[in-house]
Structure 1
Amino acid sequence: MKPQTEVLITGAGPTGLVLALWLHKQGIKIRIIDQAESPAKNSRALVVHARIIEMYRQLDLADDLLEIGYKLPATNLWVHKQHKARIPLGEFGVELTPYPFMLTVPQDEHERMLEKRLNDLGIHVERRMKLQGFVDHGSSISATLFREVDGISETCDASFIVGCDGAHSAVRHAIGAKYEGETYKPLFYIADIETRDEVANGEGNLMISNDTFNLIVPYNKEGHVRLVGITIPDNNDTHHNESTEEEHKITFDDVRPQIKEAMDMEIDKVNWFSTYRSHHRVADKFRSNRAFLVGDAAHIHSPVGGQGMNTGIMDAINLAWKLATVLKMDMEDEAKHQLLESYESERRAFALKIVTSTDAGFTTLTSKGIFPHILRNWLIPYLVPLAVKFEHAQTQIFRGGSQLICNYRGSSLSQKGAAGVVQPGDRLPWVRMDQGDNFSMLRDIGWQIHVYGETRPLVDAWAQRMNIKTFSFQWDEQYAKSGLTKDGVYLLRPDHYIAGIFEGPSIVSRLNGYFSARGLGC
């Protein structure tokens, strides 16, 4: 007997809400629970990157997000109160994406937007509901849920369970996944403040001073900024757990002197202040049969680059179409396993890369010693202004920071043997034309075919039989500049990464081969 709930989602942060929305869009019955009484009123995550906004177009969420967000045009580098460089992020990405900027949206507002959309669809987060445990029967799961309002436990049968329940994930503990990594020694502070100072100029500002840093990020209200930094330099080897009680006593007044040392800024009002420890950890597995880990339940990073929440949202979108495919298609068990296994292989590999890069950035900003001091105070201020003058460096900076760099080359879902600048597993390059762009077609959650050049009637007929939408684009040299091949047939996955690139004869036969080899039908 088929369970009434197809996917049980634990955790209603951005990753859980995105997963719920993407699954519902594909006709999947979901249930989403959260221990908290209400959505978060304060948040650490602030930046939403270009790749996320691109994907939000699938559910017509992009414009809603842009309406509540603030487009960050540039970031400035300061060393000992001396301005060293301005990095105009909006100029770096104009040829790469329709959203060439960093968007700042407080996480609580972001969550409210997502939850409102979910509510409009008739789905509500079941709050003050705790997962006590679950049993994986092989063909389904049975979860025990505890309702804190009345103290009643119930059993929820579902086809799958997904842990979007944060760093202390009950789902992760239940599947016995190790959470490998470390806790950084420095203690962070985070504050929302109001200031009329010139440093609140609508741009980001990174202030380096000796062995500390302070980061100013504006968001959607004039003069309202997020301030992040290290509270007190760690001058001894005391293990962080021994000082937890003292950490909670730290107030904004305790960090005012070091803020003053780093920048001349008059603070009018402090709306919120908190301290926290940052970690870098990745679970040793993201899946155990019918249980999955998404977002902070699977990986956490240093705050450098604002990658954590964005990576979690991409996890959710990657998993959603694969769960929906397995639930809706009559696939062989081995094909189901391979498709679901690709979630872990693709997303864990990317999480490890993000952890490595953010760890390197964090270490550069906070490490003690002569070489890190020289690097921060002399080499970086010299090299950054030089590097950003070159187009290649600009492109790499934007691609790396905006998650456009994410690819699934080598995945079992990526066609083997194709060569070129753009390869299977890559994000489809965005190309802007006079009449529009090639991303305007990417509004559905489903397989697509794009042909750049001459249309192919046999391919069109095959796609119609398969119920796959096909779009043809008249060839233009702009496509070549983006790495696309003339007359190439590009098969796109439901998350709009390139599954295969087909050229020459027998394309229909090879398309059939792609789907049949993966048990996806032909």
Structure 2
Amino acid sequence: MTSSPPSVLIVGAGPSGLVAALTLLQNGISVRIIEKESKQRVGQRGSGIQPRSLELFEHLGVLKDMQAQGSRPLPMRKYKPGSQKPFKSWAMGPWLEPVPDRPYRNGLTIGQNVSEAILRSHIEKYSCHVELATRLQSFEQKSDHVVARLVKTIDDGQEVPETLSVQFLLGSDGARGVVRKMLGLTFVGRTCEEELIVTGDIHITGLDREYWHFWGDASTILVSLRPVLIKDDNTVFTFQIFGKQVDRSKLLSDPKEVLNIFRTVTERTDLTYGDLIWLSDFRPNMRMVNKFGAGRVFVIGDAAHVHSPTGGQGLNSSIQDAFNLSWKLALVLNNHVSPPKSLSLLDSYSAERLPVIAEMLSQTTAILNQTFQAEKDDIKPWTRGFVLKQFGVNYRGSPIVLDERTTENVSGSPYSNDDGRICAGDRAPDAPGLIDSSGNQIRLFDMFKSWLHTVLIFGDDLAPSVLQALEQYPEKTIQAFCIGPKDTPSDADAVLEDRDGHAYTGYAVDRTRSTVVVVRPDGMIGGIAFGVEGTERYFDGIFSI
């Protein structure tokens, strides 16, 4: 745990809990994070990282570690029983080269056990450590704090109780967690009883590790084997088994039955099967809460929404939950916003994320139905559209964004801003090739930080007045840069020359009209204004001064 008394207790140390912890710690907030399991989880589980998540990982400073231990998504192959030659080969989507506003246009494959270990290593830099074998027994909300009762199981099995007071509690304890239930939130949706999926990791030799392999189909039994990147071990594959003829009880009661399924469905006598590393099963659930919190307690990730794994959206959506909430909590805890404004700021977490998650459930459920209802050898359910990269996730309808440039209603889909506009509430694009006062070349993503609003002032005539206006807001919460076209005089450190025009183009700024763009700590555009008044209106909605 951190050395100072914690301001926030995070219950559950999966991806969403770890991202929330890291974001809060980077904002100077003391955190305690507990996990009821006695050991760290093994296995791939949520291994598909979407491009938008890669951007958020860069803002958090963990992207290079993720890239070093991850791999690009593999092409797929499908085989007839007994054949070593595929009869179909395809990719989930075309490989896309980077463009100025989107440097990461392809996903990353990295096991959840690996990504969690990376995130843990980063929170440990702040002297914060995940406390295993520690569960939340109950909590009680007070007007200005939360009393949490914990139970820690020590080595001899003895349970040690503890009472802890914190200012806020975050539940990232999964679909079966206790925080949502104790908070009394509804969890509306359905369970697909007939659509069982068995998954796990296994050692296999003799199978090409450059592809994701498929046999059978969902009308009977479908088997997939995908190689796992593990240092010094090139035998691990993660598998899925599903279909209408899968016998769940038989598979789970006897691990040897998994091997029998592999042998029967693939009819490959050249493969050697080793030990099972882990095995689990689940029936896809499509459920979400009616709101993401109440009072001083919030839920994030699978504690707030569960879904089909098809589409690879869940873990990525959980990361966005954590980032969206944590920067807002940090402002409140650092006393930069006070009631009643703090209440509306925290309420915006639900207002922004509920529509996004509802659409995510719709998208992933549609893909699940395609997968189980596909005709034999149909590969369409295994291809992915651009919308699933999550670039289009937006908060255009949010009560805390401000847009003076777009006056008509452009709320549209919370998952796809495909109208060609750049509006407040959208993802903030990157822009490479900016030249600072020292002649160094930088990009906007180098500047975005999880603890700062970033103000981009396009047009040097606005810079003096906007910079002066920003001085009224709390220190170390805002950074500002004047973005100028080629040959802009750079007599101040806050001037960046947009030599190639990528910033003006990426943010759709009219060169004849000076514009202010405010980028939030979570990498979303919070405000677009044409002067000091609009800039102040945005920040007056965020800060108490």
Residues 283-362 of structure 1 aligned to structure 2 (within 5 Å): 283-329=289-335, 331-362=337-368
Q: What is the Cα deviation at residue 444 of structure 1?
A: 4.6
Kept after mapping to 2: 8 A contact 1:191/1:270? no
Q: Does 1:21 align with 2:26?
A: no
Kept after mapping to 1: 8 A contact 2:140/2:148? yes
SS at the partner of 2:364? helix
Aligned length: 488
Kept after mapping to 2: 8 A contact 1:286/1:292? yes
CA distance in 1, matches of 2:245, 2:507: 48
Q: Does 1:471 align with 2:476?
A: no
171, 174, 181: which is aligned to 1:173? 181
Q: 2:286 is matched with which residue?
A: 280
444, 447, 471: which is aligned to 1:441? 447
Kept after mapping to 1: 8 A contact 2:401/2:538? no
Distance change in 2, residues 1:101/1:494 (3 Å): same
Q: Deviations over 1:297-349 (max 9, x none)?
A: 11111111222222112111111111111111253422111111111121222
Q: Deviations over 1:21-57 (max 9, x none)?
A: 1111111122111111121133412122222222222
Length-normalised TM-score, structure 2: 0.81
Distance change in 2, residues 1:92/1:206 (3 Å): farther
AA at the equivalent of 1:276: D
Q: What is the Cα deviation at residue 498 of structure 1?
A: 0.3
CA distance in 1, matches of 2:91, 2:206: 18
Q: 2:397 is matched with which residue?
A: 410
AA at the equivalent of 1:187: L
AA at the equivalent of 2:88: H
Q: Deviations over 1:365-388 (max 9, x none)?
A: 112xxxx42xx646939x97xxxx
CA distance in 1, matches of 2:264, 2:250: 22
CA distance in 2, matches of 1:267, 1:484: 56
Distance change in 2, residues 1:265/1:136 (3 Å): farther
Q: 1:451 is matched with which residue?
A: 457
Q: 1:229 is matched with which residue?
A: 240
Kept after mapping to 2: 8 A contact 1:164/1:296? yes
Q: 2:521 is matched with which residue?
A: 494
Residues 56-71 of structure 1 aligned to structure 2 (within 5 Å): 56-71=57-72
Q: 1:366 is matched with which residue?
A: 372
Q: Does 1:159 align with 2:167?
A: yes
Kept after mapping to 1: 8 A contact 2:133/2:153? yes
Q: 1:427 is matched with which residue?
A: 427
CA distance in 2, matches of 1:265, 1:54: 42
AA at the equivalent of 1:473: I
Residues 117-128 of structure 1 aligned to structure 2 (within 5 Å): 117-128=122-133
CA distance in 1, matches of 2:360, 2:342: 28
Q: Deviations over 1:129-173 (max 9, x none)?
A: 111111111321111111222422221111111111111111111
AA at the equivalent of 2:422: V
Kept after mapping to 2: 8 A contact 1:142/1:157? yes
SS at the partner of 1:70? coil
Distance change in 2, residues 1:219/1:67 (3 Å): same
SS at the partner of 1:440? helix
Length-normalised TM-score, structure 1: 0.84
AA at the equivalent of 1:402: K
CA distance in 1, matches of 2:276, 2:300: 31
Distance change in 2, residues 1:289/1:264 (3 Å): farther
Q: What is the Cα deviation at residue 93 of structure 1?
A: 5.2
CA distance in 1, matches of 2:264, 2:96: 33
Distance change in 2, residues 1:473/1:215 (3 Å): farther
SS at the partner of 1:127? coil
SS at the partner of 1:161? strand
Kept after mapping to 2: 8 A contact 1:49/1:103? yes
Structure 1: stretches of 5+ with no match in the other structure: 385-395
Superposition RMSD on alpha carbons, in Å? 3.1
Q: Does 1:107 align with 2:112?
A: yes
Q: Does 1:520 align with 2:521?
A: no
Q: Does 1:191 align with 2:197?
A: no
Q: Deviations over 1:403-446 (max 9, x none)?
A: 22211110112214542711110001223438443212113521
Q: What is the Cα deviation at residue 447 of structure 1?
A: 0.8
Structure 2: stretches of 5+ with no match in the other structure: 81-85, 407-419, 435-440, 486-499
CA distance in 2, matches of 1:460, 1:144: 47
* Percent of aligned pairs sharing the same letter: 26
Q: What is the Cα deviation at residue 196 of structure 1?
A: 5.9
